[in-house]
Amino acid sequence: MEKQRSIRFLFIVCFLLLLPLSIQAQETSQPAPTPVFASLPEESHQFDFWIGKWTVVDANGGGGIPGSDTIKSFGNGLAILESYKSGTYTGSSVTTFNVTDKTWTQTWLDNGGFTFQLTGSKVGDQFILTGHFTDPQDNRVKLARLTFRNITKSEFIQHFEQSTDEGKTWSTNYIARFTKGK
């Protein structure tokens, strides 16, 4: 009986000593997962200027209730989340970077059910995003253009326009001045 116990003990000790070697052999025999992208393209940080808290006012001095806009980065820097509020009006957007074609796509939804999706990229020193939407006021499909311009670390202008003739002519919906940290 004692001999059986000794053999069993010796077997367990050998098993425990050899187990790490077996695990290590299994781990090294499988290739390490490779990241999808070794490094993100430089363009994936183009909208970093927008990250933070902003006060939003009519850039033409037309009054209205000042808004607040909070922008956060997520998804390893490939996306940003916007939360906008002005009085009882609220809206949110998710803006994502497509690493394949190096474009940005913004999807917007407000508390009135208005939604749109715009896609574009940096053109010179501004960003221009465009896309079609159905206007809830007249139920017509229109082309929208959202431009970010005059961009500095502390402020920028956002200009939202629409066209009923596929971009031949444009009418302004709003021009807003964003000022950081107020």
Q: What does the mean pLDDT of the chain come to?
A: 84
pLDDT band for 15, please (50, 70, 90 cuts): very low
**The two structure tokens encoding residue 69:** 């806009």
Residue 16 has pLDDT above 70, yes or no: no
Output the pLDDT for position 7. Answer: 44
Write down the pLDDT at residue 40. Answer: 83
pLDDT digits (tens, 9 = 90+) for 109-131: 999 999 999 999 999 999 999 99
The residue written with tokens 């939360």 in the block is 83
Q: What is the CATH number of domain 42-180?
A: 2.40.128.20
Question: What share of the chain has pLDDT > 90, as a percent?
Answer: 65
- Once rounded to an integer, what is the mean pLDDT over residues 139-168? 96
**pLDDT at residue number 13:** 37
Alpha-carbon Rg for the chain, nearest whole angstrom, is 27
Confidence of residue 11 (pLDDT cuts 50, 70, 90): very low
Instruction: Give residue 72's pLDDT.
Output: 97
Tens digits of residue pLDDT in 29-83: 555 555 555 678 888 899 999 999 999 999 887 777 789 999 999 988 899 999 9
> What integer is the mean pLDDT of 83-112?
96
Task: Show the 3-state SS of the chain.
Answer: CHHHHHHHHHHHHHHHHHHHHHHHHHHHHCCCCCCCCCCCCHHHHHHHHHCEEEEEEECCCCCCCCEEEEEEEECCCCEEEEEEEECCEEEEEEEEEECCCCEEEEEEEECCCCEEEEEEEEECCEEEEEEEEECCCCCCEEEEEEEEECCCCCEEEEEEEEECCCCCCCEEEEEEEEEECC
Residue 13: its H or E element:
helix 2-29
Give me the residue spans of the domains in the chain. Answer: 42-180
pLDDT of residue 48: 93
* pLDDT score for 32: 53
What is the residue type of 92?
Answer: S
| pLDDT number for residue 90 | 97
Using DSSP's 3-state secondary structure scheme, residue 100 falls into coil
Q: Rounded to whole angstroms, how far apart are CA atoms 90 and 112?
A: 8
- Compute the half-sphere exposure of residue 40: CA atoms within 13 Å on the CB side of its CA: 14
